[in-house]
Structure 1
Amino acid sequence: MANKLITPSVIAKEALMHLENNLVFANRVHREYKKEFVKVGDTVSIRRPVKFYAADGATLVKQDVEEGNTAIKIDQRKHVGWEFSSQDLTLTIEKYSERYIQPACITLAQVVDQAVASLYKKVWNSVGTPGTTPANFAALGSAAQRLDEMAVPAKPRAAVVNPAAGWTLAGGQTALYMADVAKSAYREGTIGDIAGFDTFRSQNVRNHVVGTKAGSPLVNGANQSVTYQSIASTGNKQSLVTDAWTASSAVLKAGDVFTIAGVYAVNPVPGEGTTGKQVMPYLQQFVALADATADGSGNATLSISPAIITSGAQQTVSNAPADNAAITVLGTASTAYPQNLCFSRNAFALVTVPLIMPDSAAFKAQESHNGLSIRVVKDFDITNDKEIIRLDVMFGVEAIYPDLAVRLWG
């Protein structure tokens, strides 16, 4: 009679439960766009918020409505498959779950989480010291401060750090006077709330290898700024012409963070009038969105984010860079650093969508819940008396609002 418990719907429900329970990054990001997709390759555009400034006086000042968008593409398909003998069908659902479904879903959860964690490459704001493991409240506090300065909502915020940082931070919690918090940190390694972040550790935190940074790079040409209207339909990015790299060399990796001399960050929330936003006391950070290679003359055109916008409600910097302004890349050349992430839920999106069910398969089921979807299909190999089963997920990830996240270097 135990055999009858192993139905496709039960397997799919068990698989979905284990998948969700083993997600870390993916359980703390936006997952509400799934209904807008149909098949692999579909893309949806997500509207970015409009910003206005406060005009002075009684006379009406009309402002342009500048609404941009970000696209999410469903381009990742992952599965786990295995086979078992007919005798294994007599196992109870609990044992079946333990031996097959749980390890398969742990593997799927790992790849989904890694895909979300890899979105660090689109985040430009960063804190911490490359090569130094975050070890205390001040480390996460610096990330919280940067999010505050960038007008990111205080809740919900999450921080996901690698095991080295996680266990160090957990040990630091034991020094707290609050007995229950200290006991949990010491016995279980649970990190809890630090600096307003719901804090977790995960082995899926990505390492970033800095480019060679070969040369003494400079901005090549003054006034390299754009208007928001010109980049609204392609995301918050632009091309930056540079020179003085070492000729004919790969100089930057996608995800490298750099600053430009004399170009400062601004308060993202517009204030009164059109004279510009409040300038922050630190240089604006930019991220390279693609690998860059210098040509034979040491010139390289970089794809960067955020775009250099010097005025209006969507202003991102204090001013455009001057010709020959020095570029400084964070980190040591060709060195790997953990990219812990601190973020608001809406910084990143995960979209999983139901797969088409095969007509020829008799044993099949699909379960969707809480923004996640998984499919199970089983077939029989009559030659070898084997049952073959597979679990599939189809998804896409995107940094929809990378300005709501901060990289905490380790």
Structure 2
Amino acid sequence: MLRRVERFIPVDEALELLLRHVDFLGAEEIEASKALGRVLAEDIHADGDYPPYDASHMDGFALNHRDTVRASPENPVKLKVIGHVTAGKRPEPRLKPGSALRILTGAYLPEGADCVVPQEEVETIDGGYIMVKRPVKPGENIDPAAGDVKRGELVLKRGRVLKPIDVAFLHHLRRWRVKVAKRPRVGLLVVGDELTDSTTEAAEGRVFNTHRLLIEPLTSQLGCEVNYLGIVGDDPTAVANKLEESITRFDALLTIGGSSVSERDATYLALTKLDADVFVQGLKLQPGRVGGFAVVGGRPVILLPGLVLSTVNVFIFLAYPMLRKMLGREPKHYESRIRATLQDEVRFSKWVDFKKVVWVGLREEDGEYICYPNLGESSRMKILANSGGYILVGEHVAKINKGEKVLVHMLG
């Protein structure tokens, strides 16, 4: 039975209701080499010390510092080179007093050695000897055992999106397989008679489907599998049929366009025909007030409005945290945020009792961030193109003062 939620509910309340209907989708184990961009579904603890033994920090000669205590340029110490140590295996020869071993960067120190003298600081002489011209300190030019990572140390936390350095680090720790969150399967449907994916038709006067090129990669970057379902015209029956046939194939659906309540808003009308468990139409969010969501057959359908600022804002405040929860991450609407000084005053004459999203440009001056508001109608894509993030203005706030410190939220 349809539970109709009145229009223009607070966006936080809408999100809380939405999150009750989604859960973490679980984990799968994959090869670590294929984990780039995936969300880590387990804490990674080191199962050993890294490096496991003392290792040379440079090419040179491994020796014991006691043999060089009296060394000087006038009276260099003569040491016999008894072998060669390469990286990748524990050296077998034990260093004897009065001797040295040739050693390469990263190679493990032989037993009996406690320092390395760089090769450019010694003189080699006939017969396999080197001359050391200064005292070498114990531990000099050595990467100590466990200096990088200690056994049992937590090195990567669950919920982290794996970057190239993380994948390399996993292999450094000899973790060849890793548990990652399953990718949410997301269907993306665009609604509108005027829209086309053809550049040829766009050149002839149709409206190119730009919003897909924005929402699809934003969803994919989160770690989701996105399936583009195409464009459906402004026909509520056709939209309802497309939603009904798609809903069981995906963990979530995103729709763009047709979310308001006129006789032309096909997505809204289509959802009234379906057996939705929940239907939220209208948010106290500006831009974004005609966005919403439905839950159909236990699957969420997010209604993104057609004007680009509204499209992105509703994606950020509903779809983004919902998909993060499905991935086992904290369901928040940003990845990072910084504190910045607002360069210009911003006033709100309408929708004062709504939460407001102000997109801002960013620049750095003398080590501090300055942000400047990019204002205009919800249809202006240039506002997004010129912005580095957004600030969130609370309900019933009518003005933000010039010079005020604000939090700038970013998706990357």
Establish whether TM, by shorter chain, passes 0.5: no
TM bin (shorter chain): under 0.3
Q: Given the two structures, how large is their TM-score scaled by the length of structure 2?
A: 0.23
Q: Which has the higher contact order (CA 8 A, sep 6+)?
A: 1
Structure 1 or 2, whichever has the larger Rg, is: 2
Q: Given the two structures, how large is their TM-score scaled by the length of structure 1?
A: 0.23
